[in-house]
Amino acid sequence: MICPLALSQVQKIDGYWGRYLDELSSKGILSQWDQIVSTGRLENFYRVARGESGTHEGLRFNDSDLYKWLEGAIYVQKLRPNPKIAEVIETSIKAIEVAQAEDGYLFTLVQLNKPNFKWRNLVNMHEMYCLGHLFEAAVALKQELNDDRLMAVSIKAFNHIASIYGPDKKPGFCGHPEIELALYRMTEATSDKRFAEFADWMIDIRGHRPSPFEAEIEDPETKDYFRAANNLILKDGKYDGKYAQDDKPIREQTVIVGHSVRAAYLYAAAALSAARRNDKELLGAIETIWNNLTERRMYITGGIGSTGDNEGFTDDYDLPNLNAYAETCAGIALAMWGRRMFEATGQSDYLDVAERVTLNGVLSGVSQDTTLYYYDNPLESRKTHGRAPWFLCACCPPNVARFVGSIVQYNLWESDATVYIGSPIDGEFRLSCGLTLKMETKYPLDGVVKISFTGKSSRPVKLSIRIPEWSDEVNVDFPESSEGAEYEGGFMVFNHHWTSSTTLTIDFEMNPKMHKAHPHVIDNVGRLAVSYGPTIYCSESLELESAPQLKVFDLAEELRETGQKAIDGSPVFQASALLEPVSPYTELYREFSDEDPMAGTINFIPYRTWNAKGPSFMQVWLRHN
Ligand SMILES: [Zn+2]
């Protein structure tokens, strides 16, 4: 079993991720809390507790924002304690406790406003989705802060669900997967297998016909209320199941379809299910879907979901830049899925994708100070896109907080005999063998990581370090050992008796590279994108006159470092470019005659840092000559 390190094993995190944790602790978590309070999300819980009815503030699934925020706040509080965060964590726990109904039910919209809709519309209502986020917050609270209060609320809610749905009761699963992942974590946190078995059942019954959703959609009492939601689900007036990955059983699915966050949450859970049941058929199916996604439907930034129409997938190679959806949550969900695939298979290529999306398609979704967010992450902008502190549908901001807060779990794992490093994190980590692993690194700003240990190991331990897909040259300095590394599953594996005097320095050499897309990605024909190590770059300008859209990459000269740093400390690169002359033209159209382009330059900064000064002209894929 490959298990991620618990946050309690983190002695400290500094460096690149440490700065994000500092910002979340001092600003991001509390600014999100202010939004949760000022938008009435918290008050909905108090209203339920006071026995009110007839009023509910915001969207029907707003409870999930409080739960998801709470999970993130707990991680950040664990790693960067702040008395103000402790206070609001306490406030939110109490609000949740008092809102739960006697029978275990908890969903403030139905409790306040739609009592006759209780468990009537799993496809649209999001009751289980919201409870899934509550369960994850409860796991975080129990595991990181030794507090069982929300686990008690969660078990009561689960018992309520299991009194209605189950193998010998009604079939039932949520239109928006999430509770499945949460249930596996509940089992992990409590050792009670009932939760995981229930999730296995939900994964297995999904996609069969008749779907329980078909009758729900036709329910005359709820039909009007869900008209807009049903329009997303129905294709030509009929239910085909694709939007919610309910078109066929997962074991028979081969192509990724529908809503991208739902899909990636579902398959992340299915990977856990396959691993715990040793179910090769299920794992094989998810691998096929994964390959369809990563070989034909994923942006170079790791972003997924090509259109806002269904917040999800369209066709193979349909990856428009300007209108890319690539929701921040979908990026996080993909990192979750990649992590679970690695845990199930031990193969590093899943972590290559997780790293790609983490450092590009997810971190682009949050400002450097962690107070502004993108919902969608297009790969081109014409001064039309800006980050915002919050959204009416605010799934992304708290998702970023819980993801960054638990970043160690996406990069460090242990099994009986091995410690795995996905991507280096500057910090110190207590291993279960008794050693403390220390990594000193600026990663991802450069590729050097110095590894050392303190303490004594109770048993021999292998150190497995992922060789990133982008890395051509790896330099290893291991003065204590004359033996080289072995290679396994995309990792270099060092088998050594680690002591306090051991140092191992690895340099994954980073060089700027240029990339082409498959010619069927029509938007990118004749264009190149730039990367440096794991970081995808873009070009940006606040003014139309110097917009990257007006420039053509001149391939006659190589990319060069400017010596300047981007706002996150990454190197800025420059290339020669040919510029579309703007002046002296004033006509909208003119007859073409030979015009000499002007020589100029084009600068590249990390895509994740764009829009630091407000809306701009931006492109990831640039025309070349
Ligand atoms: Zn979102």
Give yes or no for residue 79 having a pLDDT over 80: yes
SS3 224: coil
Same-domain status, 475 and 518:
no
Q: Among 486, 508, 530, which residue terminates a domain?
A: 508
Q: Determine the Cα–Cα distance for residues 531 and 512; give it in Å rounded to an integer.
A: 6
Tokens representing 563 are: 């010596």
- pLDDT value, residue 28: 98
Same-domain status, 495 and 603:
no
Q: Among 475, 508, 541, which residue terminates a domain?
A: 508
Q: Taking a C-beta distance cutoff of 8 angstroms, is the pair 401, 73 a contact?
A: yes
**CATH number of the domain residue 210 falls in:** 1.50.10
Give yes or no for residue 459 having a pLDDT over 90: no
Residue 448 bridge partners (DSSP): 507
- pLDDT value, residue 548: 97
Ligand 1 centre from 425 Cα, in Å? 26
At 593, is the pLDDT very low, low, confident or very high (cuts 50, 70, 90)?
confident
Q: How many helices (H) and strands (E) does the chain have?
A: 18, 24
Ligand 1 centre from 178 Cα, in Å? 13
Q: Which residue has the tokens 């369209």?
A: 314
Ligand 1 centre from 263 Cα, in Å? 13
For 601-613, the three-class secondary structure string (H helix, E strand, C coil) is EEEEEEHHHCCCC
Same-domain status, 153 and 255:
yes
Ligand 1 centre from 261 Cα, in Å? 8
Ligand 1 centre from 145 Cα, in Å? 26
- pLDDT value, residue 594: 79
**CATH number of the domain residue 444 falls in:** 2.60.40
Single-letter code of the amino acid located at 52? E
Ligand 1 centre from 490 Cα, in Å? 31
At 556, is the pLDDT very low, low, confident or very high (cuts 50, 70, 90)?
confident
Ligand 1 centre from 380 Cα, in Å? 19
Ligand 1 centre from 312 Cα, in Å? 12
Ligand 1 centre from 299 Cα, in Å? 17
Q: Taking a C-beta distance cutoff of 8 angstroms, is the pair 396, 328 a contact?
A: yes
Residue pLDDT, tens place only, 136-178: 999 999 999 999 999 999 999 999 999 999 999 999 999 999 9
Ligand 1 centre from 68 Cα, in Å? 11
Tokens representing 37 are: 């309070």
Provide mean pLDDT across the span 102-117.
97
Residue pLDDT, tens place only, 257-306: 999 999 999 999 999 999 999 999 999 999 999 999 999 999 999 999 99
Q: E strand or H helix at 477, and its extent?
A: strand 474-477
Q: Which residues surround ligand 1, an ion (CB under 5 A)?
A: 329, 395-396
Same-domain status, 29 and 115:
yes
Ligand 1 centre from 394 Cα, in Å? 7
Which candidate, 106, 111, 101, 112, places its Cα nearest to that of 127? 106
Phi-psi region of 270 (alpha: psi -120 to 50; beta: other; left: phi over 0): alpha
Provide mean pLDDT across the span 421-448.
97
Q: Taking a C-beta distance cutoff of 8 angstroms, is the pair 547, 579 a contact?
A: no
Ligand 1 centre from 444 Cα, in Å? 25
Q: Judge if the upstream peptide bond of residue 210 is cis by omega within 30 degrees of 0.
A: yes
Phi-psi region of 258 (alpha: psi -120 to 50; beta: other; left: phi over 0): left
Residue pLDDT, tens place only, 50-69: 999 988 999 999 999 999 99
Give yes or no for residue 582 having a pLDDT over 90: no
Same-domain status, 476 and 516:
no
Give yes or no for residue 584 having a pLDDT over 90: no
Reported as half-sphere exposure (CB side, CA atoms, 13 A), residue 440 has a value of 6
Ligand 1 centre from 328 Cα, in Å? 6
Ligand 1 centre from 327 Cα, in Å? 6
Ligand 1 centre from 264 Cα, in Å? 12
Q: Taking a C-beta distance cutoff of 8 angstroms, is the pair 615, 544 a contact?
A: no
Ligand 1 centre from 345 Cα, in Å? 28
Ligand 1 centre from 450 Cα, in Å? 36
Q: Determine the Cα–Cα distance for residues 264 and 273; give it in Å rounded to an integer.
A: 14
For 272-322, the three-class secondary structure string (H helix, E strand, C coil) is HHHHHHCCHHHHHHHHHHHHHHHHHCECCCCCECCECCCCECCCCCCCCCC
At 82, is the pLDDT very low, low, confident or very high (cuts 50, 70, 90)?
very high
Same-domain status, 225 and 349:
yes
Average pLDDT, the chain: 96
Ligand 1 centre from 396 Cα, in Å? 4
Ligand 1 centre from 229 Cα, in Å? 17
Ligand 1 centre from 564 Cα, in Å? 33
Q: Taking a C-beta distance cutoff of 8 angstroms, is the pair 85, 35 a contact?
A: no
Which candidate, 356, 375, 357, places its Cα nearest to that of 366? 375
28 phi and psi angles, rounded to 5 deg: -60, -50
Ligand 1 centre from 310 Cα, in Å? 13
Q: Which residue has the tokens 């009986």?
A: 416
Neighbours of 417 (CB within 10 A): 12
At 127, is the pLDDT very low, low, confident or very high (cuts 50, 70, 90)?
very high
Which candidate, 361, 294, 355, 413, places its Cα nearest to that of 533? 355
Dihedral (CA of 359, 360, 366, 368) sign: positive
Ligand 1 centre from 331 Cα, in Å? 9
Ligand 1 centre from 395 Cα, in Å? 4
- 8-state DSSP, 553: E
Ligand 1 centre from 373 Cα, in Å? 10
- How many domains are contained in the chain? 3
Ligand 1 centre from 341 Cα, in Å? 22
Same-domain status, 230 and 165:
yes
Q: E strand or H helix at 354, and its extent?
A: helix 349-356
What are the strands, taking DSSP E only, across 481-534? 486-488, 491-496, 503-508, 512-515, 527-532
Ligand 1 centre from 109 Cα, in Å? 20
Q: Determine the Cα–Cα distance for residues 320 and 72; give it in Å rounded to an integer.
A: 32
Ligand 1 centre from 611 Cα, in Å? 19
- pLDDT value, residue 356: 98
Same-domain status, 465 and 572:
no
Provide mean pLDDT across the span 538-562.
93
At 483, is the pLDDT very low, low, confident or very high (cuts 50, 70, 90)?
confident
Q: Taking a C-beta distance cutoff of 8 angstroms, is the pair 454, 438 a contact?
A: yes
Same-domain status, 486 and 551:
no
Residue 530 bridge partners (DSSP): 514
Domain that holds residue 439: 413-508
Same-domain status, 305 and 334:
yes
Instruction: Kindly report each contact of residues 509-517 with a partner whose C-beta sits within 8 Å and lies 24 or more positions away, as own/partner.
Output: 509/447, 509/471, 509/472, 509/473, 509/474, 509/475, 510/446, 510/447, 511/472, 512/537, 512/559, 512/561, 512/573, 512/604, 513/470, 514/559, 515/300, 517/300, 517/319, 517/621
Give yes or no for residue 19 having a pLDDT over 90: yes
At 501, is the pLDDT very low, low, confident or very high (cuts 50, 70, 90)?
confident
Same-domain status, 51 and 173:
yes
Ligand 1 centre from 329 Cα, in Å? 4
Give start and end residues of each alpha helix (H) in 387-499. 396-405
Which candidate, 377, 389, 398, 395, places its Cα nearest to that of 326? 377
SS3 18: helix
Q: Among 508, 526, 547, which residue terminates a domain?
A: 508
**Of 96-110, 232-246, 468-482, 552-566, which one has max mean pLDDT?**
96-110
Same-domain status, 531 and 427:
no
Q: Determine the Cα–Cα distance for residues 202 and 186; give it in Å rounded to an integer.
A: 15
